[in-house]
Structure 1
């Protein structure tokens, strides 16, 4: 009997593995909705700042200063999946030992060679219908220029600069 079992077991194993197994298949349709997203990040000296950064500068009377946009300066990164309009404003005049008028602080570039424009305390459109389809299009440099009036006390001056994005109406 033992010999019969030893002969039948390998035959049974071969039979089980050679017999096709029929299974059920199912097709399921899946629909995914990606919501629109409007989001930017301000990068100052390569560090994420949220939607604003504080410009702090040691200045001398009558000096002209420029901070070139890019990894060592100011950049705006779009994380939006829809076209956006980008705006900028400052909280007010530069504060330090004295006050430097906000009109003396200017922005330019934004990846579209925007000319030097004085900052204001109201949001001002700087880039309309900005659409980033590739990573390289999602980050734009912003140049900052400051002219210090003659006879201004030297020292450290500060101002907070804000950016916002809204969905473009195209």
Structure 2
């Protein structure tokens, strides 16, 4: 009986309807790609979502700089539509004392944006950003911190956020 079991399989295959007329046919396929607005913040080469914590061990009366780039802050545009990019801080820098947020500044963003004090509300840093290729998808952002005289030395920190929305234009 086992010698003829293949005949049962052949019989079942012959009963299956096979649309021979469509075997060589061309079918039109439509794909809809939804709009996507997404950024990635890279802090010191690490992907950190849309925010990071700036932590600095400081001395009074000094200015500290974190140049934008692989060793500092970069923003990567993963969107497929033009975006507007914004920045804000959660508040003053906290440590042994408080350093006013106005002493923390940002610059560059691939547009030579001048030094601008951070605030606790989202502020535009780049408008109508369109990343058409990998080279234009990542921009550096410089960070500067001025420590007031007589500030207690030690470690200070603040969370910095970025937000992207679809450009209106």
Q: What SS does the aligned partner of 2:143 have?
A: strand
Which whole-Å deviations, capped at 9, do the CAs of 1:16-72 have from their partners, x for residues lacking one?
Answer: xxxxxx975201111111000000000000000000000000000000000000000
2:99 corresponds in structure 1 to 100
CA–CA distance in structure 1, aligned partners of residues 72 and 26 of structure 2: 52
Task: Give the TM-score, by structure 2 length.
Answer: 0.86
Q: What SS does the aligned partner of 1:143 have?
A: strand
1:64 corresponds in structure 2 to 63
CA–CA distance in structure 1, aligned partners of residues 64 and 157 of structure 2: 14
1:161 corresponds in structure 2 to 160
Which residues of 2 match residues 1-170 of structure 1 at below 5 A? 24-170=23-169
Task: Give the TM-score, by structure 1 length.
Answer: 0.86
Which whole-Å deviations, capped at 9, do the CAs of 1:80-126 have from their partners, x for residues lacking one?
Answer: 00000000000000000000000000000000000000000000000
CA–CA distance in structure 2, aligned partners of residues 45 and 71 of structure 1: 6
CA–CA distance in structure 2, aligned partners of residues 121 and 74 of structure 1: 19
Which whole-Å deviations, capped at 9, do the CAs of 1:119-158 have from their partners, x for residues lacking one?
Answer: 0000000000000001010000000000000000000000
**Which structure 2 residue ranges, 5 or more long, are not aligned?**
1-19
Alignment length (residue pairs): 149
Q: What SS does the aligned partner of 1:56 have?
A: strand
Q: CA RMSD in A?
A: 1.1
* Structure index of larger Rg: 1
Q: What SS does the aligned partner of 1:55 have?
A: strand
